[in-house]
Structure 1
Amino acid sequence: MDRNRLAPAAVAAALALLALPLVTAAQHVRPAPYGDRLTVLAAAAPARPAVRVRGAAVEAYDPRSGARSWTYRREGRRPLAVRTAPGHAFALWSDGMVTDTARVLSVDAVRWHRAVPGLAAWLAERPGRAAGVLQQLTPAVRGGGMLAVVTPERIAAYRAADGDLRWTLPARRECAFDPGRIARVAGVLIVAQPCRDRDAWTQELVAVDALGRVTPGRTPLGNELPTASRVRAHGQRA
């Protein structure tokens, strides 16, 4: 075989071998989406860990022993509030991002991220406002619970299973929702909506549940996952 042909092929093969470690290293240093840093610390986490904000991280720990199960950080961001539901840990971050850390097939993972418009600037004025932003909604149907994010401009409801936005309720003109003034009555969330005109005090209260605003004669859409909806419909036909 011609040696002049072998030489370029040998050089190309050698360069490919030298470049392989560099490509592998580049993959390892590639930043995680949204700056996520989830560190699992316990091999056997408790079935229902407690969750708290500690410094710049969200921590899950065994309420009996205090041993940490995992820590979740986001580069350059701070967690401001957490809300838990069976199998889920929702967190509100300083950049207006809402995240869900959930257990899937015995493995803890960050399931979804949702950016809430205008929330970061409002929280920056006073971080203590974050206390009432995340609200769990009682599941009215099968297929998982719902998370409400209450901001002055709107209430948005996300399906816990996949973060799907199910409904939004904007505040009335010249009014604003107040996440710091919320009550629960028989599974219904009552949110204060103070208005400038103050026509009637009844207009300054809004009732919502997992299916949206509570009004007489409403016919809301369901919140099940698509697969659950199909299974239920098939069962009804059978």
Structure 2
Amino acid sequence: MSVVPFGTSGSGPVRPVPARRGSRLALPVVLGLLALPLITAAHHSRPAPYGDHVSVHARVDAGAADPGLRTRGRAVEAYDRATGRPRWTYRREGARPLALLPAPEHAVTLWDDGLVTDTVRADGSAVRWHRAIPGSAAWLRTPAARGAAGVLNRLDPRGRMLAVVTPQRIAAYRSADGDLRWVLPAEPGCVFEPARSVRHRDALMVAQPCGDAATPWTSQLIAVDDLGRIVPRRTPLGNELPGGGLGDVRTGAEKELASHR
């Protein structure tokens, strides 16, 4: 009996059988279908920006009144004023809310990692913006911060401008988009005390104690509004959204005290 080597026949080498065209096309399709669950899982496992987690608990009808706001544990909770039922809950990984500032359509929150956020107040459908307050995280965790009393303030009755007061500076942000409009640093040797701030008509009065006994008391109290520090002969600063028609002109004195992006 003759032995036929593997891959050959009695009449010569065996030629490979050509693959069908359909099978060539099917292989990439099958591999794609197998990879789809992995791609979907990777998409859902991506961390939320800034550690945000918003849970909506109740459907909100158009035109419904803004809900009340409160902190509960490590979360911000919006609730129906009539029933007390929660509408939405907002958490951030590794952070705890310290202060809330309710404004029409806005829910502004200060967190203990030095971040300020603005959430759509009616239904929690979006976190509009996040802003980090420079050099504030360490101070917010000290007893001197007193639970961040007075750090968040409205600079106008409608809440279109927000002031964040820390010992080193006062920063003003446009509520609509979080745009930084001006910054007022404390005088050398002085600090702002957010807890010792009070509104008087359209002005926010903030204590600015100084270590120098020779500093007059008038320099240890400042007044600001949505345009910056209140000084004589100011030229209005336009804080509206682009296209609003207001200019962005300041006096020389204001340029020394306020800067914006």
TM-score, normalised with respect to structure 2: 0.81
User: In structure 2, what is the equivalent of residue 136 of structure 1?
Assistant: 154
Which is richer in strand? 1
Cα distance in 1 for residues equivalent to 2:157 and 2:195: 22
Q: What residue is the counterpart of 2:67 in the other structure?
A: 49
> In 1, distance between residues paired with 2:81 and 2:124?
19
- The offset of 1:4, in angstroms, is 6.5
Structure 1 residues 149 and 107: CA distance shift in structure 2, 3 A: closer
Q: TM-score, normalised by structure 1?
A: 0.89
Structure 1 residues 149-228: aligned runs within 5 Å: 149-198=164-213, 199-228=215-244
Q: Which runs of 5+ in 2 are unaligned?
A: 1-16, 247-261
Q: Residues 83, 107 of structure 1: CA spacing in aligned structure 2 closer, same or farther, 3 A cutoff?
A: closer
Q: Give the C-alpha shift of residue 159 in structure 1.
A: 0.4
Q: Give, in whole Å, the separation in 1 of the partners of 2:23 and 2:48.
A: 41
> How far apart, CA to CA, are the structure 2 residues paired with 1:103 and 1:49?
7
Alignment pair present for 1:111 and 2:119: no
Q: How many residues align?
A: 226
Task: Answer yes or no: is the 8 Å Cα contact 1:139–1:210 preserved in 2.
Answer: no
Whether contact under 8 Å (2:71, 2:77) holds in the other structure is yes
Greater Cα radius of gyration, structure 1 or 2: 2
* Pick aligned residue for 1:82 from 89, 100, 108: 100
| TM-aligned CA deviation for residue 62 of structure 1 | 1.3
- Deviation readout 1:168-190 (Å, 9 max, x if unpaired): 10000000000010011111000
Letter in 1 for 2:37: P
Contact 2:97/2:109, CA 8 A, preserved across alignment: yes
Q: Sequence identity, in percent?
A: 59
Q: Deviations over 1:86-113 (max 9, x none)?
A: 1101000010000001258x76321100
Structure 2 partner of 1:234: none
Q: CA RMSD in A?
A: 2.1
Amino acid at match of 1:147: L
Cα distance in 1, alignment partners of residues 199 and 112 from structure 2:
26
State the alpha-carbon separation in 2 of the partners of residues 12 and 28 from structure 1.
24
Moved more, 95-104 or 73-82: 95-104
Give the C-alpha shift of residue 139 in structure 1.
5.5
Higher helix share: 1
- Choose which of 41, 48, 68 in structure 2 pairs with 1:25: 41
Aligned to 2:139: 122
Deviates more, 1:188-197 or 1:13-22: 13-22
**Residue 35 of structure 1, aligned match among 51, 69, 73:** 51
Per-residue deviation, 1:228:
2.1
Deviation at 1:5, TM superposition (A): 5.9
Determine the C-alpha separation between the residues in 2 that align with 1:185 and 1:10: 75
The one-letter code of the counterpart of 1:14 is V
